[in-house]
Chain A
Amino acid sequence: MSAAARQPQRRFPCTGAGPLRPFQQTRSAASVSSSDTIEMHMTTEAPFDTLPVRDEIATGLVAVAMSGGVDSSTVAALLQEQSRSVIGLTMQLWNQRRLPELQGDGPAQHRCCSLDDVYDAKRVAQHLNFPHYVVNFEEQFEARVVRPFVEQYLSGRTPIACTNCNTDVKFEPLLRMARQIGAERLATGHYARIRKNESTGRWELLRARDDSKDQSYFLWGLTQEQLARSEFPLGELTKDEVRSAARRVNLPVAEKPESMELCFVPNGNYVQFIEAYSREGGNPLSNTAGEIVNEEGIVVGHHQGVHNFTIGQRKGLGFAAGKPFYVLSIDRANNRVVVGDDESLRTTTCAIEQVNWIALENPDGPFRAEVKIRHKHLPASATVEPLGAESARVTFDSPQRAITAGQGAVFYAGDRVLGGGWIR
């Protein structure tokens, strides 16, 4: 079977940075309701066209995390239009010449961290005339994003590298470096919004105005301190508005296509990547083959390694069946993939670990929320029961399809992110 055919159809929209709405448009800001701390049914909030202005952000140097894409480039342009003092930082995260067996001939295609993208970011900085630097976080990126990504797949989970990258690289060492070199804050091209809730005193993360671009799902790990030091200027804009802003100021990347692939995986083929990375690390994954069983434990086929599978996957099961079969679960201990029909994929509860609370501060009892369990999932009503400070149990009102270990579960009240964690 070709590598392409084995590859589950999931894509990970990563983000560079996004556009900005001029702050005066948000200046009519209503204050936030004072009673929305741990209440139930917080789903009927006013739309956030009324975000309070963060006056304090209008001063001081701001560092823009620039991927070389149109979103983060536009962030820099819009901040500069507001007379902010801007510097650009582009992270060097992955050596594209590693894992040569994954490389094609000639220079690397357009991907994050490719030289093309670095040069694009530099061209934008030159065009707008602000300082720009490339900073090396390869070590941190490998330790905190790439290695865990591979390990998670090999343990039968389906990780989201972008969330780790946000929490542990962009808003950790990069934010720290930005501050060390004198920036007050780090601005990125994420489509999401940040506000300070004056009544609770907490920094809140909110969905982007453009629902189709919203990236709040990937940002649930941000701490209060990280949120306080971050800016998402594109949160109020649609992608079209970002493109037109980019065109208006003649950004050299205004027409650049969007990158939808995991930045360190060439061609988006992560199975190949996992195998090449493991081989490089001295673990050739030679003994990963195992059985595919049905819910009764009867062997119905064989597989070449659990990293080829994700919950809910139908393609690539490697055997023909009368009715469609789907991956129901991955039994790492026995190296088995369990398959069944679509109905069996639907479950009601899941355990959440490493919870990070955002709008709420350590809630002391169950609350209602809409919970989103993967990037393309429509948030579903559920009761979230905190179990200690860092765990929770989510019980949906109706069964959800393919709740997948390793993905994030994000608790929303309307546009507000109450918190989130990893699905166990």
Chain B
Amino acid sequence: MKRVYLDHNATTPVEPEVLDAMLPYFSGDYGNASSIHSFGQKARSAVETAREHVAALIGARPQEIIFTSGGTEADNHAIFGIAESAAPPAHVITSTIEHEAVLNTCQALEKRASSVTYLPVDHNGQIDLAILRETLRSHPETVLITVMHANNELGTAQPLEEIGRIASESDVYFHTDAVQSAGKIPIDVNAMKIDLLSLSGHKLYAPKGIGALYIRGGTRLRQLLYGGHHQRGFRPGTENVAGIVGLGKAAQIAKASLATDAARVSKLRDQLEQALLQRVPDSRINGGGATRTPNTTNITFPGIEGEALVIALDLKGLACSTGAACSSGAIEPSHVLTAMGLPADGARASLRFSLGRHTTAPDIDFALQAIPAAVSQLRELSPTYRKEAKAEAHS
């Protein structure tokens, strides 16, 4: 069966060039980057080269990058690290549409005497900067603003430059989860006045299990893990050399190809969107009014269960997704779409298609064959869609 993958926001394939770069570090050049001898030096050199590439992708200095096990660890480290190095109780500002890695970390903070404000978003998934300003406090003191760059479900990007300016004017640390934007839209930690930034390898054509946290020089941050002196003691644990090399290579490729990828992928995404709006009655784009990552579209098909549509499409060979999946793999109503003001049934009727660097025009044609047919198959057996259609016919 032909299979087309439009779920690159969930994960991406490891780029062949990335894999090639990694392979020597599993069994040939297997040294521990902390060792003094030549085996260790070879590994160290590879790690430091990778650090330079990751730093270059976001306009940072290499010594401001630490490698982590992924985006979740980076988010935890940034949020706990800042909140818990301040004198308690601390106040943290975030948004309602963050990834669970941020939301659940903030909820854990709340159980540890800190307070957290969750900023609402508008129908384009944007926080209101005026509300952000009003939310800054001195008692207890706001120590951190953590607002994601691009949203994983919608692709919509928050105005990081403005948020960074507000944070810097108020002398509050600013963390952003850039897992979904890195390599897709330009990031400059200095222009955006970002103090901490999370990255994940596997959203960037590097492997799973590797990520990075950017920490602006001079930032006071409590460490998350305790152990040896690796990575200046910031992040103990023997370095995952092959993974780090992979992330470095992926960052290097992303930086070089970002502009051309963005132009090509956004054109395919727009074609997919326009054709679906035409061919599927009543369909609506979510967050289309905001700046978005070039690869993501989120569409509501009223009258269907997103979960059933994902399964129906998978059986036809098209991989896409609804909101976040829970531990069993079952789908939960999207907190992002609900926060944007979609009613529960609208949120459940929404799907995300996320294209990748290697998505082709024939892939989009395949999707355009599969989706309208599957939606009408579902709607035929949908009690709610028939009701809605009838109600409209009578009005």
Contact = CB atoms under 8 A, between A and B. Distances in A.
A176 B382 CA distance: 8
Contacts of A92: 326, 328, 330
Interface size, B (range): 10 to 19
Nearest to B314: A131
Interface residues of A, number: 18
A180 B305 contact: yes
Interface in A115-146: 115, 118, 131, 133-136, 138
Nearest to A121: B328
A293 interface: no
A179 B378 CA distance: 8
B15 interface: no
B113 interface: no
A179 B304 CA distance: 13
Given A133-B311, A136-B307, A182 B329 contact: no
B145 to A, nearest CB: 30
Nearest to A87: B315
Given A87-B315, A131-B315, A180-B381, A118 B328 contact: yes
B314 A134 contact: no
Contacts of B308: 135, 177, 180-181
Interface in A80-96: 87, 90, 92
Interface in A292-327: none
Nearest to B327: A115
A179 to B, nearest CB: 6
Nearest to A92: B330
A181 B332 contact: no
Interface in B302-341: 304-305, 307-308, 311-312, 314-315, 326-332
Contacts of B327: 115
A133 B314 CA distance: 10
A174 to B, nearest CB: 10
A102 B328 CA distance: 20
A131 B310 CA distance: 13
Of B307, B329, B331, B378, the most chain A CB neighbours within 10 A belong to B329
B330 A181 contact: no
Contacts of A177: 305, 307-308, 311
Given A115-B327, A118-B329, A136-B307, A182 B312 contact: yes
Given A135-B307, A136-B307, A179-B381, A115 B328 contact: yes
B282 to A, nearest CB: 17
Given A90-B328, A179-B381, 5 more contacts: A115-B327, A118-B329, A133-B311, A136-B307, A136-B330
19 contacts: A87-B315, A92-B328, A115-B327, A115-B328, A118-B328, A133-B314, A134-B329, A135-B307, A135-B311, A136-B331, A138-B330, A177-B305, A177-B311, A180-B304, A180-B308, A180-B381, A181-B315, A182-B315, A182-B377
Interface of A: 87, 90, 92, 113, 115, 118, 131, 133-136, 138, 176-177, 179-182
Top 6 A-B pairs ranked by shortest CB distance?
A92-B330, A136-B330, A134-B329, A181-B312, A134-B330, A118-B328
